[in-house]
Structure 1
Amino acid sequence: MVRVHISNRKLVNEVHGAYIVVANHSSHLDAPLILGAMPSRLSRYLAAAAAADYFFDVWWRKGLTALFFNAFPVDRSANSRSNGFTGKLLKRGVPLLVFPEGTRSKDGTIAPFKAGAAALCIKAGIPCIPIALVGATEAMPRGRNWPVPGRPDVYVEFGRPLRAAEGESVDSFNDRIETVIRSMHAEQKAIADAARAERTGTNVHDHPTLGEADEHREGAA
């Protein structure tokens, strides 16, 4: 239903054991895009954190979510308390997929990251795999139950696995993860805009970010 472009997947080839995937979040396509883009060795047991108040509120959605995305519920209410379930999964070697914004973006922009994933990485001594997603908002915006027609382009970029430095605080590590994902997102957005301009005949020189995207693409090649 969509045309997927994957970048830098080889950066995660050396990851073994438990890890946490951290990505920006703007669409219900995000989890399947990540699961489909990752090497099968890493995605096989990847468990996705899903909002309990939406994905686990009725029996049929709960069953489908757990079946297809190996998902577990996360309480997003203001008075929620951790029951240690995520830590137990990590101790058993189960990798996690976390969207630290807490909810889907309405317009594709990235909201400030909550520090839960960074804290888990530090506590468990495991790496974070940063991923940037571009185009999912347009492909399946909020309010739709299915992607828009025409196989829209979506972009998945892998970042180099990150580990907290010795003595690094949770807030510092969280800021570093967010900075990396924002940077990758901006690069992929420029590439997506350049590709769209090429299809529609727009002059990229009229758009500075599009010209930068071409330079990034040539450097990557």
Structure 2
Amino acid sequence: MLHLLKRLALLVVGPLLFLFICLAPHVCERRRGFRAWYWRLVPRACGWLLWFLSIRVEISPKATARMAQDENSIFAVNHRSHLDGFALLSNVPNEKWVTFGAKKEFFSNFFVGRGFRAAGLVSIDRARGSDALRHLATAVREMPRRRSLILFPEGTRSHSAGLAPFKAGVVIVAREAERSIRPVVIAGSDTLLPRDRKLPSPGVIRIDVLESFHCDDQATVDADLQRLQSAMSDAYEALLTA
């Protein structure tokens, strides 16, 4: 009964919260300190959404501390379902700032475009190929040390039981921007929201944050990528059996 009441409440609260997040930048973007409180509001909103959906996120104090202390990194996150971003953002500590890359087409959208810019999201022009990676690396290099770009090295939601093959972009950007990689592993989200479903089931999502991964300038990009995927795959399997 409680779960049903939460779902009904979400039908009212959800659209109002979405409108506020989308429209607040149109009204408040030029006010001093806007980005700070706005980017704190977004993770809280993600937490509220998961609460209404009766979804709980398990993450250890050690993993949270690693995020809080993290600097000069890129976050590499495996991708299982549309719940991944909400689960991760709702558990990012206040000491840590993160941001996403988004297709440049979204930035021209009236509702979300201004919010994306206000929150510091990075525009990605996929049609530019390698130039897009260089632009991304430049944007990361100019970020404050405590802010990290979140990248999904699989490129899309994985269809396989384990992690899908990684694309080279995350290592290339980390090398170009002279940053480490902070691997973040998420498990269970695809069970709650499979690709063929619109509404998630209640349940638990597990997150682990690994030690910093440092690229080896003496090795090839493929070698670094294999090393990164191996570490994240092992952590993913550990979460599944936890």
User: What does 1:63-82 correspond to in 2, within 5 Å?
Assistant: 66=116, 70-75=120-125, 80-82=129-131
Q: What is the distance in 1 between the residues matched to 2:229 and 2:141?
A: 25
Amino acid at match of 1:87: A
Q: What is the distance in 1 between the residues matched to 2:153 and 2:129?
A: 16
Runs (5+) with no aligned partner, structure 1: 192-221
Q: Which residue of 2 aligns with 1:86?
A: 136
Residue 60 of structure 1 and its aligned partner are, at CA, apart by 3.8
Q: Which residue of 2 aligns with 1:36?
A: 90
Residue 169 of structure 1 and its aligned partner are, at CA, apart by 2.1
Does structure 2 retain, via aligned residues, the 8 Å contact 1:108–1:137?
no
Residue 166 of structure 1 and its aligned partner are, at CA, apart by 4.3
1:11 paired residue among 66, 81, 89:
66
Residue 56 of structure 1 and its aligned partner are, at CA, apart by 6.3
User: What does 1:1-221 correspond to in 2, within 5 Å?
Assistant: 1=53, 2-7=55-60, 8-9=62-63, 10-16=65-71, 18-42=72-96, 44=97, 46-51=98-103, 59-60=110-111, 62=113, 66=116, 70-75=120-125, 80-83=129-132, 84-93=134-143, 94-106=147-159, 109-148=162-201, 151-191=202-242
Amino acid at match of 2:56: R
Tell me the percent identity: 23
Q: Which moved more, 1:177-186 or 1:27-36?
A: 27-36
Relative to structure 1, the CA distance from residue 132 to residue 58 in structure 2 (aligned partners, 3 Å threshold; closer, same or farther) is same
Q: Which residue of 2 aligns with 1:203?
A: none
Secondary structure in 2 matching 1:163: coil
Q: Which moved more, 1:137-146 or 1:111-120?
A: 137-146
Does structure 2 retain, via aligned residues, the 8 Å contact 1:3–1:154?
yes
Residue 135 of structure 1 and its aligned partner are, at CA, apart by 0.7
Deviation readout 1:129-178 (Å, 9 max, x if unpaired):
00110011122222445432xx3100000100111234122111111111
Q: What is the distance in 2 between the residues matched to 1:153 and 1:68?
A: 31
Relative to structure 1, the CA distance from residue 81 to residue 145 in structure 2 (aligned partners, 3 Å threshold; closer, same or farther) is farther
Quick one: higher RCO (CA 8 Å, sep 6+), 1 or 2? 1
Relative to structure 1, the CA distance from residue 12 to residue 61 in structure 2 (aligned partners, 3 Å threshold; closer, same or farther) is closer
Higher helix share: 2
Does structure 2 retain, via aligned residues, the 8 Å contact 1:25–1:101?
yes
Residue 119 of structure 1 and its aligned partner are, at CA, apart by 1.3
- Provide the TM-score with structure 1 as the length reference: 0.70
Q: What is the distance in 1 between the residues matched to 2:195 and 2:233?
A: 21
Secondary structure in 2 matching 1:156: strand
Relative to structure 1, the CA distance from residue 97 to residue 147 in structure 2 (aligned partners, 3 Å threshold; closer, same or farther) is same
Runs (5+) with no aligned partner, structure 2: 1-52
* Superposition RMSD in Å: 2.7
- Provide the TM-score with structure 2 as the length reference: 0.65
Secondary structure in 2 matching 1:82: helix
